[in-house]
Amino acid sequence: MAAVTALSETPAAASAGRPSGMQTRRRRRLNVFRYLVFTVFGLFFVLPLLAMARFSLEGAKLGTWSLSAWRQIASFQGIGVPPLLSAIEITLELAAITCVVTLVLLVPTMIWIRLRVQWLARTVEFLCLLPLTIPAIVLVVGLGSIYNRIQHYELSALMLFWVYVILALPYAYRALAAGLNAIDVTTLSEAARSLGASWFTVIVRVIAPNMRQAILNALILTASLVLGEFTIAYLLLYDNLQVELYSISRSTPNAGVIFSTSFAALLFAFVLLLILSYAGRLRRGRG
């Protein structure tokens, strides 16, 4: 059963061999627009980051430079506080598990609803918005009783993934929905079914590959959510990356440490997500 490839082509490839004039003018206007947009938005995003970085390199007196805030991340030896590396490890594992469970839970369900159970669409949409409407501090009160029971088995912080999937639902749902709406699911599935495919094949080998960008974006959103999640881990007294970084920053009077830890976390997440975005390319090669 051949995977049906994406139907939209790159603008660059498409415009090769086209009549010039209107196309090249439009392309030129588009490029100007793109560079303008990238510059303006780039500035907007970079300035606060620069301010943070500058402050993290601040010395004891304003105006001097010092690497001490960064060195303190590496050298932190807390009392009874787990080292940074184990927090990183746990968070990475959590990210992986959460991504997998979210996708496995959402993608088939959304496709299935689109195809066969349309009347549930609005309900699922609302449910996937609900986690955002309840602040974490309140959710923890409700979750407390469940987690109390889980904690009796002394499982590790990996148990947080149950909640993280719920937190990721709104973002993953929207990203997947945008991709799902852009393809003609009904036609694709009917074509595949008439050729004898099982529902599993339809979902996994026909429709999902057409949602590649959407799935990738959902993965990026989920991963970055787990990497950046602080409140629930903090309130349930688990030690993930952000909680650990926060502890480091609170255990020293050097105000710059909270910024060096924050910036380090951002860089770390950025590199990871960049690597993740290459995963999309690998799959394309094999298809």
Partner 1 sequence: MNALVAAAKKEGTLNVIALPPTWANYGAILSAFTAKYGIKINSANPTGTSQQEVDAVKTENGTAKAPDVLDIGMAVALANTNLFAPYEVSTWSSIPTAQKAPNGIWVQDYGGYMAVGYSSKFGTITSLNQLLGPQFKNAVALNGNPTSANAGLNGVMMANLAEGGTADNIADGVSFFSKLKAAGNFSPISATGATIKAGTTPVVFNWDYLNLPSYVGVSNWKVFIPSNVALGGYYAQAINKNAPDPAAARLWEEFLYSQAASGGQNLWLEGGARPVEQAAMQSNGSINTAAASKLPAVTVTPTFLSPTQATDAANYLAANWAKAIG
Partner 2 sequence: MAVAATTETGARPSWSGRRPSAPAWAGTVPFFAYVGVFLLWPTGIVVVDALKNPNGSWAFSNISELGDPLVRGYFIGSFKLCLLSSVSGAVFGAILAYAVASGNPDGMVRRLYLAISGVLAQFGGVTLAFAFLVLLGPVGLLFHASWYFDFPWGIGLIYTYFQIPLMVLVFLPAIDGLKVQWREASENLGASAWQYWRYVGGPLLAPAFLGTTLLLFANALSAFATIEAWENQIAYIVPQQISTALSSEVGLSNVNVADLLALGMVIMVAIVMTGYALLQRRAARWLR
Q: Does 8 bind partner 2 (CB under 8 A)?
A: yes
Residue 250 Cβ vs partner 1, minimum distance, rounded to whole Å: 5
Q: Does 71 bind partner 1 (CB under 8 A)?
A: no
Q: Which are the contacts of 82, defined by CB distance < 8 A and separation ≥ 6? A: 239, 244
Q: Are 1 and 201 in contact (CB under 8 A)?
A: yes
Q: Does 48 bind partner 1 (CB under 8 A)?
A: no
Q: Of 3, 20, 21, 56, give the one whose Cα is nearest residue 256.
A: 56
Q: Does 84 bind partner 1 (CB under 8 A)?
A: no
Pick from partner 1, partner 2, none: which does 199 bind, CB < 5 to 8 A by kind?
A: partner 2
In Å, how far are 139, 153, 186, 260 from 149, measured between CA atoms?
A: 16, 7, 43, 37
Buried b (16+ CB within 10 A) or exposed e, 199-222: eeebbebbbbbbbbebbbbbbbbb
Cα distance between residue 173 and residue 141, in whole Å: 25
Q: Which of 49, 274 has the CB closer to partner 1? A: 49
Binding mask 223-242 for partner 2 (x = CB under 8 A): xxx-xxxxx-----------
Q: Which of 79, 126 has the CB closer to partner 2? A: 126
Residue from 148, 250, 274, 287 touching partner 2 (CB under 8 A): that is 274
In Å, how far are 9, 69, 257 from 246, measured between CA atoms?
A: 45, 13, 9
Residue from 78, 195, 198, 279 touching partner 1 (CB under 8 A): that is 78
**Which residues share a beta bridge with 65?**
58
Cα distance between residue 157 and residue 66, in whole Å: 35
Residue from 1, 43, 67, 130 touching partner 2 (CB under 8 A): that is 130
Query: With the CA atoms of 8, 12, 16 and 20 taken in that order, what torsion angle do they form, in degrees rounded to the nearest 10?
Result: 110
Q: Does 109 bind partner 2 (CB under 8 A)?
A: yes
Query: Of 133-172, which residues contact partner 1 (CB under 8 A)?
Result: 144, 147-148, 151-152, 154
Query: Of 231-260, which residues contact partner 1 (CB under 8 A)?
Result: 234-237, 246-247, 250-256, 258-259
Q: Does 279 bind partner 2 (CB under 8 A)?
A: no
User: Binding residues for partner 1, per CB under 8 A?
Assistant: 55, 58, 60-62, 78-81, 144, 147-148, 151-152, 154, 234-237, 246-247, 250-256, 258-259
